[in-house]
Structure 1
C-alpha cells in the first residue's frame, strides 16, 4: 500500500499475524529507509510509526493483516480528524471531507453517529471540553461482533457532525492472545476539572462465561488534550463478597462536599446501584452501600448507571440486565425519580425510559444549562445484518432531558432540527402515502387536535414492516417479518397529541407528546429508498402533518 502522509505525523495500525506465521509490518520512507515491527500473535498489536509530513510512504504487511489503519497526529486534529487507509480504496485517504461515499450504504445511518467500521456499544466519557463535545465509546475495530473492548473517540462542535479521532484505550496486556478470557476497557464516564479531563472506567478480566472468577475493578486516568491519556491507576475494587462480580460502569457526581461514584451491581443477590465517596475524586474511595435496590425479580444486575439532579428531583438510570418485561421486551432501560436523602434515593416514580428497547447504556452530562444524553442503539433481538465494511450499532440522537409532571421527558437537542432539508409533503387533515422517499432518511412532525386511531408505516421490505400504530388508545411500535414480531412495544401515554419520527435507514426514533415517551427501534432494508404512509380514523383531527428530507452528517 502506497500513501502520502499529507498533514499527518503518525501511522497507527492494529496488526495480527496469520495463523502459523510470524507477521511483520514494514514501513518504507521516501529515502528507502525501512522500519519494521512484529504483528501480534493471536491479538491485534497496536503499532504506531512516526511519519514526516507531506511525504510518500509504502506500507507492507507480510504474514499478517490489519483491519484498521489510519493517519493521526496533526495540527488541529479535533477539526481535521484522522484519515483512514483501506485497500478497498487504494491510495485514497478517507477523512472528514470524503467519508460520505463510505457511509452511503443501506445499513448505515446518515445522521446518527456510527463508527468507520466494526462494533460499537456504550457511550463513554461524554463531556464538553475546550470548545468540543467528546464522545468516547466501547469499540471493537476488527469485526461486527463484540470482542475485547477498546475505547474509540469522536469530537463535535454541534453534537451532530462528528470527527473520528484515534483509539485511546486498549484491552489489558493479560488478554493478548488469551482465547480463554475476555474483557478490556469497559464503560465509564468523565469529569472536566480545569484544563484536564478525569476519566473513570471499569476494567474487566475473566472467563468467557461470566461467573465467580470474573474480575471487575475501577480505574482512573486523565488527559490534558482529550487525545493522549496518562497511565491508569486502580482506584476501586469489589468491597466485599456480598457485592456481585457485576461491578462496573462508574458515573461520578458531586454531593455533600465529596465526589460520589455510582456503580451498577447487585448486593446480596438484589440488583442495585451502589456508591463510593472520595474527598478528591481520585484516592481513598469509601464504600457507602446501595443508593437504590430494584426488587421486582428476574434482573441479574443493573448496569450502565447514571445519577443526577434535574429540575428539583433526582434521577437514577440503569439497564435491567437479562430482564424481560410482560410484553417480551428484553433488557429495558429504566429510570427512577425521587428525593435523594442520606445517601439513598427515595423513589417516587420508576418507568421505562425508551419503549422501543433498542436504546441502551444512556449517559448524560451538563453543558450550557442543558442535561444532554446519548445512548447506544443496541440490538438484543438478533436483527443485525452483516455487510462488507459495515458497522454494528450506532448512537441515538442526542437528547435533552427534563422532569415534568413527575416524569422524565426527552426531546432531541435543538441542533438536530438544523438537519431538516427539503419539505417532501404537507398533508394536514388527510391521509398520506409516500411510496418512495429518496435516501431513506426523513423526519415527520405531526400534531393531533383530538384522539384518533392511526396506522403509520415507517419502513418495509417485501417480507417485513415496521409501524407506529394507535388502536383503542394504545400507541405502540409494531413489527412484522423480523425477530421482534412477537414482542410488543407500547408507549406509556394516554393520549397522543404530538408525534416526531426520525427515520435514518436502519434506525428509527419516535418522540410522543414532546418527549413524554420515546421509542427507538432498528429495522433493516437493503434499499436506500424509504417510504411513509399515514392512515387516520379521523384525519380531520390532524392539524399538522409534514415530512422532511434529513441531511447527512457525512
Structure 2
C-alpha cells in the first residue's frame, strides 16, 4: 500500500511502513507524519471486513466506475469493487496523535455513517468525513480535506474507512493521509457547501490570453465544459448552451452554461442558464424558438425560447425550461417536473432532441432510452411542448446518447431532402422521416475519424438554410491540465453539414463555416508548385493559428507530409495519418485535397471537400510557429493556401 501505517517508531516521531524497508525519516517532510498513502500491493496491518475494499489498494478506476482522479501516486482506497452493492470496513492500526491537523484526500458518496472515514478515539467517533456526492451528476475526483485534531494530541487513535451503503454513490475513495503542522484543503464541514451557480463573478478576473487558450474554438472562461446543448438561432444571435461545472475544472455539478454570438465565431459568455434543483443536475438537451406560442407563456412580441433537458436524478426524466427575455433568464416549467417520465428502459434515459416538424405540424422529440443489441431510440409528438405521446421506436446496435435528427437537401436540391440521424459517437444513417417514423436502408456510416469529436448538435432555426454542427472535443487536454489553465475542454469549430451523392452512395460532408474568413490575416497562396518551392515561400511564415488547404497530385508512390508547428500530417497509400489515427484520403481525378485547422491545442482535418473529417486535441509547442512540407521530392502541388488567423477573442 502507499507506505500504509503498520506501526510507529517513537525514536523518529515519523511514520515508517514495514512494506517499504529502509525508508528514511528524512525522506518525509519535517512538518508532516505519514499515516497511509496506499502505494503497495496490500493494506499491511489494516483490518478488512466485507468485500467492498478487496485485499489491496485499487490502481485508480474500477470496472463500471466513472474515471477516478485527484488521488496521489498510483493507488488509493476505492470501495467500488463489485459496484455500489458491496459493503465493508477498512480499519488502521492504532497510532498516536501528535500534530494539529490530519490531511487527506476523499471522494465518493456523501452519506454520513454509510460512506465515510472516521477518526476513533477511546472507542468513539470523534471526527468524520464523507465524500461529496449524493446525486447523479457528481464527479469521482478526490478532494483535499482536513480535520483539526490539536485538542486530541497525545491520544491513541484509529482510522476506519466505511462503506455501508448499497444504493447510488454507495462507495468511498480515500488517499494520502498525513498528520501535519498545517492544514490542506477544506474542512470536513465544508464538503457540502454548494458553489454559487447563479452567476460567476469570479470569472471576471479570467481572460482569453493564456498560453494554451484556444483562440478560435469556444471554451468557457473558467471551469469545465462538455456537451453542446440547446443550440438555436434567435433574434440575431446564435445561442450555445453547454454542459458546465461552475465549481471546478473537472466534470460535475452539471449546469447549462451559456454563450451568444452574432456569427458563431465571436462568442460572449453569459450567466449560467439552467441550474441544478431538488438534488438533481441538468444534463444535455436542445432548445427551440416557440414561434406558435405552443407553451402559452409568450410576453409581448418576443418569442419564447424553450429548452428540453434531462433532469439527472435516478431515474432520469425529461423536463423543460423557458425564457421570455431572449435567453437571458430561464424558468422551470411546472417546477421542473417531468414532461416525459422515465420510460423504464434505463435509469439514465437522456438527451432529448426537440424540433418543429413542418409537414405534420407537430413538435417532435427524439430520445435515447437504451444501449445494447439492439439499442433503442423513441420518437414522441406534441402539440404544446408539455404533453408528449410516443409514436415510434427505432432500434439499432449503434445508438447511444445525444441523438440528433436533421433534414438536409441532397446535392443542394430543395425538392429532394433526406434526414440524418446520428448519436454522440457520430455514427449515422440517412433516410425518410414523416414526423413519426424514421425509415432508412440501415446503412451505418462513420461521421468522424478522429478520437475527439463527441455529442455534437446542430443549430435549430438557422437563418440562412445552412445546417451548422458543433461537437465537444472530448478527451484529456494535456497542456490545459499540466499548465493549470483556469478552464478545461473545448468545442470544435462550427461546420456546415451537407448530403452529397458519391460513388459509395449518399454521404454526409462537413466543412468549416465561411465566417472563419473574418479571422484571416496574412497569407501565402501558390499555384502549380513543388515542395522545394513551397518551402522557400513559407520559410518566413510564422503563425500559431492556421487554416491551410493543399491540393496535390497523388500517384501510387506519392508521400506528402505537412508539418504544422511540429504536427506532422502525412499522406501515403490513399490514407491520411496523424497522431495514432488514419482516415481515408482517396484520389479523385488524380488529386487529393486536404484542409487543416490548427489552434493552440487542436487539429481538425477535412479531406476532399469534407467527405472525410477527423478531429483531434493536440499538444503543440507554443514556440514552434513554422509551416513546412516534406515527402516525395517532386510531388506536384496544384494549389496551396496558408492563412494566419487572428484571435476570435480580440
**SS class of match (2:423):** strand
How far 1:477 sits from its partner (Å)?
Answer: 3.3
| Rg larger for | 2
Structure 1 residues 503 and 238, CA gap change in structure 2 (3 angstroms) = same
Q: In the alignment, is residue 44 of structure 1 matched against residue 142 of structure 2?
A: no
Structure 1 residues 520 and 267, CA gap change in structure 2 (3 angstroms) = closer
1:264 pairs with one of 368, 378, 389: 368
Q: In the alignment, is residue 227 of structure 1 matched against residue 357 of structure 2?
A: no
**Alpha-carbon contact 1:17-1:40 (below 8 Å) kept:** no
**Alpha-carbon contact 1:110-1:504 (below 8 Å) kept:** yes
1:373 pairs with one of 469, 477, 481: 469
1:220-259, aligned counterparts within 5 Å?
Answer: 220-225=320-325, 226-232=327-333, 233-238=336-341, 240-241=343-344, 243-255=345-357, 256-259=360-363
1:259-408, aligned counterparts within 5 Å?
Answer: 259-266=363-370, 270-283=374-387, 285-290=388-393, 292-295=394-397, 302-311=400-409, 312-319=417-424, 332-340=425-433, 343-347=437-441, 349-365=443-459, 366-379=462-475, 385-405=481-501, 406-408=506-508
**Alpha-carbon contact 2:256-2:275 (below 8 Å) kept:** yes
How far 1:446 sits from its partner (Å)?
Answer: 1.4
**Alpha-carbon contact 1:118-1:391 (below 8 Å) kept:** yes
Task: Tell me the distance in 2 between the aligned counterparts of 1:112 and 1:382.
Answer: 17
How far 1:513 sits from its partner (Å)?
Answer: 1.2
Q: In the alignment, is residue 469 of structure 1 matched against residue 570 of structure 2?
A: yes
Structure 1 residues 110 and 339, CA gap change in structure 2 (3 angstroms) = same
Structure 1 residues 389 and 535, CA gap change in structure 2 (3 angstroms) = closer
Q: In the alignment, is residue 200 of structure 1 matched against residue 303 of structure 2?
A: no
Residue equivalent to 1:501: 596
Task: Tell me the distance in 2 between the aligned counterparts of 1:224 and 1:19.
Answer: 46
Q: In the alignment, is residue 139 of structure 1 matched against residue 230 of structure 2?
A: no
Structure 1 residues 240 and 305, CA gap change in structure 2 (3 angstroms) = closer
1:167 pairs with one of 248, 272, 285: 272
Structure 1's unaligned 5+ residue stretches are 1-15, 22-38, 50-67, 71-83, 87-93, 95-101, 176-183, 206-213, 320-331, 461-465, 480-484
Task: Tell me the distance in 1 between the aligned counterparts of 2:618 and 2:539.
Answer: 17
TM-score normalized with structure 1 length: 0.71
**Alpha-carbon contact 2:500-2:508 (below 8 Å) kept:** yes
**SS class of match (2:469):** strand
1:533 pairs with one of 589, 609, 628: 628
Residue equivalent to 1:478: 578
**SS class of match (1:189):** strand
**SS class of match (2:481):** coil
1:46-61, aligned counterparts within 5 Å?
Answer: 46=196
**Alpha-carbon contact 1:153-1:168 (below 8 Å) kept:** yes
Task: Tell me the distance in 1 between the aligned counterparts of 2:276 and 2:627.
Answer: 44
Task: Tell me the distance in 2 between the aligned counterparts of 1:314 and 1:235.
Answer: 28
TM-score normalized with structure 2 length: 0.61
Task: Tell me the distance in 2 between the aligned counterparts of 1:418 and 1:104.
Answer: 19
Task: Tell me the distance in 2 between the aligned counterparts of 1:221 and 1:444.
Answer: 42
Structure 2's unaligned 5+ residue stretches are 1-142, 149-188, 292-302, 410-416
**SS class of match (2:570):** strand
**Alpha-carbon contact 1:423-1:548 (below 8 Å) kept:** yes
